Amino acid sequence: MRIAACQMVSRTSIEENVKTARSLIISAAESGAELVVLPEYFSLMPKEGKDLLKAAETYGDGPVQKAMSETAKEAQIWLVAGTIPLKADDDKHFVDACIVYNPNGEVAARYDKIHLFQFERGAERYREDEITQAGKEVKSVNIETWEGLWKVGLSVCFDLRFPELFRKLDTPDIITLPAAFTTFTGRAHWDTLVRARAIENQCYVLACAQGGQHESGRQTWGHSILIDPWGATVAELTQGEGVLLAEVYDKRIKQAREILPALKSRAI
């Protein structure tokens, strides 16, 4: 199956970001991708957290959700729509939600980001828990393509640092990770963590990132990447906006699990 990651450098305009996302998705689909992933915060990289609160949509209703549903249907692809801010249980928080659309434009799954980013280094500070409502359930989705059935595990950004979450996905074929890693943490840990999650779960990991200097002042690492079940890099971007295209093979997953049956050998 051919899959794609649409790396972005999202702006403060939702309309512009959705237009860019749509263009990248269509480009990926025209190149044969059947599964397409967008980065975290693809529709809005705000100057202030409160802008995400203002942009939060009611689940099942809103311009960003409508645009992604229509684009998935038009392109006839499975779309992991990065994350979209949704209304939370109170007006002081939003939900960082990863919504998966099928080729009919229907919602096939929704995963709410569980682990919320905390970071402080000089003037650079992030406390997602101040305005983000954490999710509670791990989620995966079965997608049907011309090549057969694939189990896709869902995760978002900071989740990457918590291997126990991925174990609960119950041996997916592919793990998708929309992300917006900072340049500082990305340079130090991104490649190692993505590679580790692929090796220990013996599956493909497609990490789709924000990558560049944003209007908001934030600098993100980029380096969207696909790692195979043996830990090898299949394809990678660096910085800026673009489409990473690559192919995944079910026989590669089976081969890794047969040569080294680590998942069957788990004792705890």
* Residues with catalytic roles: 40, 113, 157
Please, where are the H alpha helices in the chain?
A: 14-30, 49-55, 63-75, 163-167, 183-185, 191-201, 250-259
- Crossing angle for the helix pair 63-75 and 14-30, nearest 10 degrees? 10
Torsions phi, psi of 168, nearest 5? -75, -10
Nearest alpha-carbon partner for 178 in 41, 23, 72: 41
Nearest alpha-carbon partner for 180 in 216, 230, 151, 140: 216
**Letter for the amino acid at 133?**
Q
